[in-house]
Amino acid sequence: MAVADATYKFLYVDVGAEGGASDGGTGSNCSLHDAVEENRAEVPQPELLPNDDHPVPNHFVGDDTFALRTWMMKPFSYGSQVLRERIYSHRLSRARRVVENAFGILCQKFHCFYTTMHQNPDTINLITMGACVLHNLILIRYPHTISEVNHEDPDTHDLIPGGWRTEQHLQRLLPLTGHHT
């Protein structure tokens, strides 16, 4: 379970849930859920959008397996969507692409996530958390890697796959220098 910002950095990561658990079930059992419900998550206050005079609250975006909350946006049920609900759900799925891209970029950098890991679960949790921290550090040190994400053609609304799907952007990374411990 993860929350990513608009620059594909992870803001919150919770690892260790069972593989068969739904995203919604995992989300309702993670520490972030309780923190948001109890107003301890320090979610930014509502802000004005450009050319508007009504503050807009911040929300988390989830898929249809999440329970509807005042702080959680999720798509409409697929079976009963009218046109405006389909448009809303499509635009919401575009917002969810940010975290999906963050995971895609992470996996492209750390290929161990493409296969079964044979370590014990606690070690896998540490590997995953460490990779998320390194992912964020790479994005800070090499911000050009964030231009390589999926995006939508503004005219056709077709998905254009990001460069992270290839290893080419990793070749532009300079070797890390400094003190080695």
181 part of a folded domain:
no
Q: Which residue has the higher pLDDT, 108 or 132?
A: 132
Please write the tens of the pLDDT for every residue from 141-155: 987 766 566 667 778
Using the predicted structure, report yes or no on whether residue 165 has a pLDDT greater than 70.
Answer: no
93 part of a folded domain:
yes
Q: Provide the pLDDT for residue 81.
A: 79
59 part of a folded domain:
yes
13 part of a folded domain:
yes
DSSP annotation of 66: S
Using the predicted structure, report yes or no on whether residue 176 has a pLDDT greater than 50.
Answer: no
178 part of a folded domain:
no
For the chain, what percent of residues have pLDDT higher than 90? 44
What domain range is 145 assigned to? 2-172
37 part of a folded domain:
yes
Q: Which of 2, 157, 32, 162 is nearest to 93 (CA)?
A: 157
79 part of a folded domain:
yes
69 part of a folded domain:
yes
Please write the tens of the pLDDT for every residue from 57-101: 999 999 888 888 999 999 998 777 799 998 899 889 888 888 988
108 membership: H or E segment, kind and range: helix 83-109
Token pair recorded at residue 136: 């964020």
| Residue 138 CA to its chain's centroid (Å) | 16
What is the tally of structural domains in the chain? 1
